[in-house]
Structure 1
Amino acid sequence: AAKAGVPCAVTLTAPSATPRLHDYRRLAALLAEAGTAVPLLVTAPRWERAEDQVLESAILTGGLLCDGLGDGVLVRSALEPAKNLTLVYNLLQGSGTRITKTEYVSCPSCGRTLFDLQETTERIKRQTGHLKGVKIAIMGCIVNGPGEMADADFGTPTSATSAARRT
């Protein structure tokens, strides 16, 4: 239970301007300097266009969560509730704060990739999408694949021959 005069959480709002990353970082620093253990609620403002909502929410919340700042996220959105919830889960997943699904890493498909990387990736996703919290790397060649998949739990440096065998 909250004590009288002590906030349950702190957030930033601005009637005419969007709070920026550095404003939240400064607030977090001030709270830390004061020794205050009040949770910091990161509040993403409402945008009318869905593309703006996704981008601006990702910039604000993603940047802070990746820095370890923020104890909660509130996205005020014109999106449908289900899409807004998906957006929040994707923000948490992207920052590594809360893992709710399988994560995939794939190479950019350079000239050394001799097969349809997108098709192969989709096939692997269909077979492994149920593995919540697992990071899977799908690489197109042996040249850069090992380095690019170093952070993955599972990885496959795929070639045209091995991709053909899996069909």
Structure 2
Amino acid sequence: MQNEWVEVKIVRLLKTTPAFAYQAWIDPEMLRHWFMTTSRTNTSVHNEAVEGGHYEIIDQRQDKRVRVKGIYNKLVSGLEIGLTIQMPDVSEKQDDIEVFFEERSPGITQMTFFYKSEVPKERRLSQLEYKQKKKEYHDKVVHGFENIFDAMQNYIEAQSTDSNH
């Protein structure tokens, strides 16, 4: 039984520069507003934004503490970020994220997000059940990151509005 990969691709247009969108992914003060947390529920963000550097985000909602951590594998300023993501309190599984930034027109950046995760294949599952499990996982990941990117977009656009006044 071979495990299979689930891959997600999300493309977003952001009203900002590639450099600012890139910063939103590596600046701890910016991350605490949108990446796997909110400014209200964030307990801490620690990151070392260099290739091989680690990051960790701790979010607290009611009695639930969620830790998200990973390693920056690739950082090309304003263009590309590669990182791992893991929720060690939930699973030892580590997934991969790649994000690319491209200016589409002045002040408009296309962010292309790729997420790759291995989905364990359990012996008890038929091929059809496993395919359904992968689809449910895919849809859950897409839904989660769409919500995260909504928060990112709102945060980024509020920042650029603030800086214009």
Does TM, scored on the shorter chain, surpass 0.5?
no
Q: Return the structure number with greater helix share.
A: 1
What TM-score do the two structures reach when normalised by structure 2?
0.21
Which is higher, the Rg of structure 1 or of structure 2? 1
- Which structure has more relative contact order (CA 8 Å, sep 6+)? It is 2
